């Protein structure tokens, strides 16, 4: 079981039947080109709005309302409405405080909503909940970069002693500069089954791109995020990978919209 990508059992996975690219994505030199067409993006947005219509804001904050807030939070995040997503996720925690420590989606939404210090605290709660998962440590690092600068973030990287799922042992080394992006990608064997290789490339490219975002190397960030979003595996996998595909997508779209 993948720890960071697991979600509470009441969550509903949101996935879309989008046309898939070839096993290897388009050339990174495409740079600012979005892997999805305008029509595909419009269809996605329409599906998210439909989720909001089908799940109106609860009139009473009962235990059953947590699933509604969860669906609404996801849809709002996927629409790029980050403060609104934060509010929905926080409503879940207010109803059921037991959800707080494991609520990694809230941490990511806080990062995108320009509340990095609060995001740091959320990922620290998650580390107390699960001290093996390096993906959580990556988000804590990214949030600290935003909040306190890269020197502090690098100095305070969480230390991990136990094994983690691939490709995160190598990916995590990007953030203490002990591994370059090129070396991290080179560590992914070429003779892996196609699905497994696509998975490892997706996560590695995603977090190279996110690292470049906080380092403000936005041209290179767009290239890596475009490659990551082009991948097959996360679009057809379970909730966690699919959610992370949307994370890469909304970050890429935010960069492409910026002047």
Q: Is the pLDDT of residue 26 over 80?
A: no
Q: Is the pLDDT of residue 23 over 50?
A: no
Domain of residue 220 covers 165-259
In whole angstroms, give the CA distance from residue 141 to residue 124: 10
**The token pair that represents 216 in the structure block:** 């403000």
| Average pLDDT value for residue range 30-46 | 84
Residue 132: inside a domain: no
Residue 185: inside a domain: yes
Residue 38: inside a domain: no
Residue 22: inside a domain: no
| Average pLDDT value for residue range 23-31 | 41
In whole angstroms, give the CA distance from residue 227 to residue 34: 9
The pLDDT tens digits of the residues spanning 45-78 come to: 999 999 999 999 999 989 889 999 999 999 999 9
pLDDT at residue 161 in the model: 87
| Average pLDDT value for residue range 209-213 | 98
Residue 255: inside a domain: yes
| Average pLDDT value for residue range 92-99 | 96
In whole angstroms, give the CA distance from residue 145 to residue 216: 11
Q: Which residue's structure tokens are 């002990």?
A: 178
Q: How many CB atoms lie within 10 A of CB 97?
A: 9
Residue 213: inside a domain: yes
With a CB cutoff of 8 Å and minimum separation 6, the contacts of 71 are 11, 12, 14, 51, 55
Q: What is the DSSP letter of 18?
A: P
- Three-state SS at 17: coil
Q: Which residue's structure tokens are 């690092």?
A: 141
In whole angstroms, give the CA distance from residue 2 to residue 41: 29
pLDDT at residue 33 in the model: 75
How many domains does the chain contain in total? 1
Residue 25: inside a domain: no
pLDDT at residue 97 in the model: 96
Beta strands in 110-246 (DSSP E): none
Q: Is the pLDDT of residue 6 over 60?
A: no
pLDDT band at 259 (very low <50, low <70, confident <90, very high): low
- Check if the beta carbon of residue 92 is closer than 8 Å to that of residue 70: yes
In whole angstroms, give the CA distance from residue 104 to residue 140: 10
Q: In the Cβ-directed half-sphere of 58, how many Cα atoms lie within 13 Å? A: 19
Residue 256: inside a domain: yes
């Amino acid at each position: 079981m993948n720890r960071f990508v697991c979600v509470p059992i009441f969550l509903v996975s949101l996935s879309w039947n989008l046309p898939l690219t070839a096993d290897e994505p388009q050339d990174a030199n495409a740079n600012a080109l979005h892997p999805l067409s305008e029509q595909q993006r419009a269809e996605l947005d329409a599906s998210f709005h439909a989720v909001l219509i089908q799940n109106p804001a609860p009139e009473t904050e009962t235990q059953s309302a947590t699933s509604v807030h969860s669906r609404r939070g996801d849809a709002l995040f996927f629409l790029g409405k980050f403060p609104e997503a934060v509010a929905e996720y926080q409503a879940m925690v207010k109803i059921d405080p037991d959800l707080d420590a494991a609520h990694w989606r809230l941490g990511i939404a806080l990062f995108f909503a320009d509340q990095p210090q609060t995001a740091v605290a959320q990922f620290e709660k998650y580390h107390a909940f699960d001290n093996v998962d390096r993906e959580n440590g990556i988000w804590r690092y990214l949030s600290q970069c935003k909040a306190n600068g890269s020197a502090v973030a690098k100095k305070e990287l969480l230390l991990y002693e136990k094994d983690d799922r691939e490709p995160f042992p190598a990916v995590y080394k990007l953030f203490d500069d002990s591994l370059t992006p090129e070396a991290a990608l080179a560590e992914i064997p070429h003779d892996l089954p196609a699905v497994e290789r696509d998975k490892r490339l997706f996560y590695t490219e995603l977090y190279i791109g996110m690292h470049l975002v906080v380092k403000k190397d936005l041209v290179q960030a767009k290239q890596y995020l475009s490659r990551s979003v082009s991948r097959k595996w996360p679009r057809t996998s379970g909730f966690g990978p699919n959610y992370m595909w949307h994370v890469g997508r909304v970050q890429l779209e935010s960069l492409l919209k910026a002047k």
